[in-house]
Amino acid sequence: MPAAVGAQAADEIVKKTIEARGGIEKIKAVQSQRISGHVSFTQGMEGTFIVELKRPLKMHVEISVGGQKFIRVYDGKSSGWMINPFAESKDVQPLPPEELKNISDESDFDGPLVDYKAKSNQIELVGKEKLDDKPVYRLKLTNKNGDVRSYFIDASSFLVLKWEGMRKTGDQELPWESFFSDFREIQGLKYPFRIDQGSPGTDIKQTLNAEKIEINLRIDDSRFGKPAPPDAPAAPAPPPANPPPSN
């Protein structure tokens, strides 16, 4: 289709997707959120997770597995830290530059489609196809760093059912996909309570089931500073390759 027509169609789909979530006013009215629940992995490991987010772009993630706690924090500006009890060094470590490059995408709980032009994201409508027998629109998003993702939008509900792209796992760049389901309404906004994600063709897979989603709760800014050093015994097994995404 002509480029101008394609851009107009992509904009219309983005607009309907934002409306399906609850509308731009309700989305931007959320100043903080906490998602907590249960996570399971293909290796038979299970645990719990908490993701806390606060404007602007602050993030605190905890994953507890086998009595060990994996922590990842971003202050919303330029600094981030992690504690990985399964790594060689169990002290608080700064997030590497390659992770900081894209961490604003993870900590942006509005999502990349909201105000995408202001975020220097480019969106194209690839076309209409099927996902598990459901008609979906495929949108191609290129962010300011040149990274490309595809978003699959339900042609009926206009909710995001899947995204796929590349993700850094350890020292590797691997294909990654996330499927969103079990949508529920919280204070007028739609949230997926189940996320199935992983790297196709590998055994890296995990399922997150949210048990509670809280919005506009009070979260002290100290939660987004450098975490305290850990005090835990050695871990019996490796943690998930990546913490759960915010969206």
Q: Residues 122-168: pLDDT tens digits? A: 999 999 999 999 999 999 999 988 999 999 999 999 999 999 999 87
Q: Residues 16-55: pLDDT tens digits? A: 999 999 999 999 999 999 999 999 998 789 999 999 999 9
Q: Is it the case that residue 10 has pLDDT exceeding 90?
A: yes
Is residue 62 a part of any domain in this protein? yes
Is residue 230 a part of any domain in this protein? no
Is residue 169 a part of any domain in this protein? yes
CATH number at 51 reads 2.50.20.10
Written as one string, the DSSP assignment of the chain is: --HHHHHHHHHHHHHHHHHHHT-HHHHHH--EEEEEEEEEETTS-EEEEEEEEETTTEEEEEEEETTEEEEEEE-SSS-EEEE-TTSS--S-EEPPHHHHHHHHHHH-TT-TTTTTTTTT-EEEEEEEEEETTEEEEEEEEE-TTS-EEEEEEETTT--EEEEEEEEEETTEEEEEEEEEEEEEEETTEEEEEEEEEE-TTSS-EEEEEEEEEEES----GGGGSPPPPP--PPPSS---SSPPP--
Is residue 162 a part of any domain in this protein? yes
Question: pTM of the prediction?
Answer: 0.88
Is residue 50 a part of any domain in this protein? yes
Confidence of residue 246 (pLDDT cuts 50, 70, 90): very low
What is the rounded average pLDDT of the residues 174-179?
A: 95
Is residue 239 a part of any domain in this protein? no
The number of folded domains in the chain is 1
Confidence of residue 170 (pLDDT cuts 50, 70, 90): low
Show the domain range for 129. Answer: 3-224
Is residue 195 a part of any domain in this protein? yes
Is residue 197 a part of any domain in this protein? yes
